[in-house]
């Protein structure tokens, strides 16, 4: 039976073994006063551990291996970083380990002190490849209090990850928050299928050019459609001809390039999500809102922010979904559900990052802000609803996405509060 080393790290970090009779392989009593700080980089596995070996207090590092002999296999005897090791924690003790002065490094063999059921539960989580998530059969047994607390932590973890990416964009755009908002909004207007395409369009347009063209929705449509490549095909449609002429002038005036642009796709999209409509709606939004970021940060409720994101495609699109093809008259307005997605995926991370930047309680503020917002609908959220109670808020649905992609898919059960609870129950 192969024992993963990360399982031993988990046992040591959380002291999930019998401690009352703990002793070294030589029979010396061992008391763990503090297991140390888990080191995720090169060097010994735990720093600044405090132990009592017999009657002596020790402070130093702890190294963990499945087998004692891995110490030599990994060449630790030649690495000065391991001179501070005061305890070797192993599952199988197959050879003595010595310091440079030939004194024995004390070894504790966890096999003698771990309840076999803990190992059995852990291996059971990992060994069934057909499960959607490792713990799907046991998930309903996790206490509601633990589940809710873990989801809140996962939501904040997700916001922290997104905040780091936003900080990188801010650095690129010289801390221009409005420019970063445009980049993010454009990508999310494209949804999953056209997100990368819309992002490539946004990156090709300097924000100063966007501002100069925002005198009318027509000018912005010309810029967006021209950069997207959707005006490239010959057309006799008067509106397309006018847009093409305007774009040709813009491209020459602002010296912009369409190199590297990904052309948006229509395949398998509902007409309401066609890239033509989404770009036209984005043009309307930026024509009417000169300081959109500031207004969104000032919004005190989700409903207020959602109202700010209302956008209506120009008159031409009342009777079109694509260029040159007429349809029944209908105003093409961004739906509340679409704007809610924009709020969850664009505005919420930006608010978190903005509040963090200025030293506010970003996590608590965002949790409070989003508590009244309904969860998004997707396959991950729906599948979790079959295993446990349905997500009730956007905070919970975002947390479930984080749980699935960062923990379940990677089988990081030992780092998960749910997995931790199930293994040690």
Q: Does a structural domain hold residue 128?
A: no
Q: Does a structural domain hold residue 124?
A: no
Yes or no: say if 313 and 280 are a contact pair by the CB < 8 Å rule.
yes
Q: Does a structural domain hold residue 230?
A: yes
Whether residues 348 and 204 share a domain: the answer is yes
Q: Does a structural domain hold residue 133?
A: no
The pLDDT value recorded for residue 363 is 83
Residue with tokens 């005190």: 300
Whether residues 92 and 196 share a domain: the answer is no
Whether residues 25 and 69 share a domain: the answer is yes
Q: Does a structural domain hold residue 173?
A: yes
Q: Does a structural domain hold residue 279?
A: yes
What's the number of domains the chain is made of?
Answer: 3
H-helix or E-strand spanning residue 275? helix 275-288
What's the full length of the chain, in residues?
A: 425
Whether residues 352 and 382 share a domain: the answer is no
Yes or no: say if 303 and 370 are a contact pair by the CB < 8 Å rule.
no
Whether residues 241 and 313 share a domain: the answer is yes
Whether residues 74 and 94 share a domain: the answer is yes
* Structural domain boundaries enclosing 407: 139-154+374-424
The pLDDT value recorded for residue 99 is 81
Whether residues 263 and 275 share a domain: the answer is yes
**Residue 137, φ and ψ in degrees, nearest 5:** -75, -25
Whether residues 333 and 407 share a domain: the answer is no
The pLDDT value recorded for residue 1 is 59
How far, CA to CA in Å, does 95 sit from each of 67, 90, 98, 109, 381? 8, 11, 10, 12, 50
DSSP per-residue letters across 389-412? SPP-SHHHHHHHHHHIIIIITTT-
Whether residues 44 and 109 share a domain: the answer is yes
Q: Does a structural domain hold residue 126?
A: no
Query: pLDDT by residue for the chain (425 residues), tens digit each?
Result: 578 899 999 999 999 999 999 999 999 999 999 999 999 999 999 999 999 999 999 999 999 999 999 999 999 988 889 999 999 999 999 999 988 778 889 999 999 999 999 999 998 888 767 789 999 989 999 999 999 999 999 999 999 999 999 999 999 999 999 999 999 999 999 999 999 999 999 999 999 999 999 999 999 999 999 999 999 988 999 999 999 999 999 999 999 999 999 999 999 999 999 999 999 999 999 999 999 999 999 999 999 999 999 999 999 999 999 999 999 999 999 999 999 999 999 999 999 999 988 877 778 888 888 888 999 999 999 999 999 989 999 999 999 999 999 999 999 999 999 999 999 88
Whether residues 219 and 364 share a domain: the answer is yes
Whether residues 90 and 185 share a domain: the answer is no
The pLDDT value recorded for residue 124 is 87
């Amino acid at each position: 039976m192969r024992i993963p080393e990360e399982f031993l790290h988990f046992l040591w970090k959380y002291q999930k073994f019998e401690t009352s009779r703990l002793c070294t392989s030589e029979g010396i009593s061992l008391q763990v006063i503090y297991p140390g700080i888990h080191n995720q980089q090169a060097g010994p596995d735990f720093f600044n551990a405090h132990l009592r070996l017999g009657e002596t207090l020790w402070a130093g590092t702890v190294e963990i291996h499945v087998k004692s002999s891995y110490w030599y296999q990994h060449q630790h005897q030649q690495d000065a970083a391991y001179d501070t090791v005061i305890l070797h924690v192993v599952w199988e003790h197959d050879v003595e380990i010595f310091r440079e002065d030939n004194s024995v490094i004390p070894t504790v063999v966890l096999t003698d002190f771990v309840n076999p059921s803990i190992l059995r539960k852990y291996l059971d989580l990992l060994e069934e490849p057909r499960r959607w998530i490792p713990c799907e059969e046991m998930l309903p047994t996790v206490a509601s209090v633990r589940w809710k607390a873990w989801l809140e932590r996962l939501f904040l973890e997700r916001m922290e990850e997104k905040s780091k990416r936003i900080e990188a964009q801010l650095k690129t755009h010289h801390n221009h928050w409005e420019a970063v908002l445009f980049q993010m909004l454009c990508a999310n207007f494209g949804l999953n299928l056209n997100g990368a395409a819309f992002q490539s369009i946004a990156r090709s347009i300097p924000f100063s050019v966007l501002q100069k063209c925002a005198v009318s929705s027509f000018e912005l449509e010309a810029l967006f459609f021209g950069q997207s490549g959707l005006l490239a095909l010959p057309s006799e449609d008067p509106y397309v001809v006018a847009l093409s002429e305007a774009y040709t002038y813009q491209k020459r005036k602002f010296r912009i390039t369409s190199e590297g642009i990904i052309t948006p796709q229509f395949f398998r999209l509902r007409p309401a999500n066609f890239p033509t409509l989404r770009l036209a709606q984005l043009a309307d939004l930026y024509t009417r809102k000169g300081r959109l970021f500031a207004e969104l940060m000032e919004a005190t409720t989700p409903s207020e922010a959602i109202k700010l994101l209302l956008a209506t495609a120009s008159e031409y699109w009342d009777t079109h979904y694509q260029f040159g093809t007429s349809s029944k008259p209908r105003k093409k307005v961004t739906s509340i559900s679409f704007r809610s997605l924009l709020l969850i995926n664009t505005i919420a991370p930006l608010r978190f990052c903005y509040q963090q930047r200025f030293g506010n309680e970003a996590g608590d503020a965002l949790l409070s802000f989003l508590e009244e917002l309904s969860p998004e609908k997707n396959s991950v959220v729906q599948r979790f609803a079959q295993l446990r109670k349905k997500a009730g808020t956007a905070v919970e649905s975002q947390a479930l996405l984080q749980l699935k992609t960062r923990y379940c898919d990677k089988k990081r059960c030992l780092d998960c509060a749910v997995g931790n609870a199930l293994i040690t129950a």
